[in-house]
Structure 1
């Protein structure tokens, strides 16, 4: 009788304790629920495909330029390039695009400027109702690398 009592007392359990796994899962769930809304802070922009051909439009594009210091310049159609502030740019480009929905809107950023200036212009153009925006670039010269 003694041996059977000992055998029952020292018998190993073959069950998995899942309580710590559930605790970790709930902590991860809370972390993902808190951080998920913060990850959706982007600007929806339809960028052109990476083709080697240049854009051939019948209409002159609207060009918003950002220089190295963050100053904005606007070129509407055949007009001359003129300095402009952000609010006036939103109003003019929004009205121009509403009048001509097929016109291309291009953003030209200075190579040595901060990306923040270009990003702010993209956000302002989205607020102005522009659905398609292209980014301008100059072709690389054959002698430079």
Structure 2
């Protein structure tokens, strides 16, 4: 343990323990470990090269394509490329949610014109939420 300064003029040989910890060696060790991990991490990702056999099976459908919902400047709502009336919107959103096997439904890309009223966008987001669609992304330009 490191010793501190002399206590007084009469006690020259006695020193007090220092309450400070020298962290420089610990920082040096951490930097060396960081460099080692940065060098070895790309080597671990590469794996072992293997010549895989060919297969006639179709690839697994792991994730559905996102559904694009657009609000036109005049307030009309489009799902994909087709226009949806306000009265049919809830049924269409329920069909989209029930057709997905992912929790929270498929990804929804919501596009709205900047000139639209904020309340119109929030109304559509409320409809999406009540249909069980929780994965909504707002698209900007």
TM-score by length of 2: 0.48
* Structure with larger Rg: 2
TM-score by length of 1: 0.47
**Larger RCO: Structure 1 or Structure 2 (Cα < 8 Å, ≥ 6 residues apart)?**
1
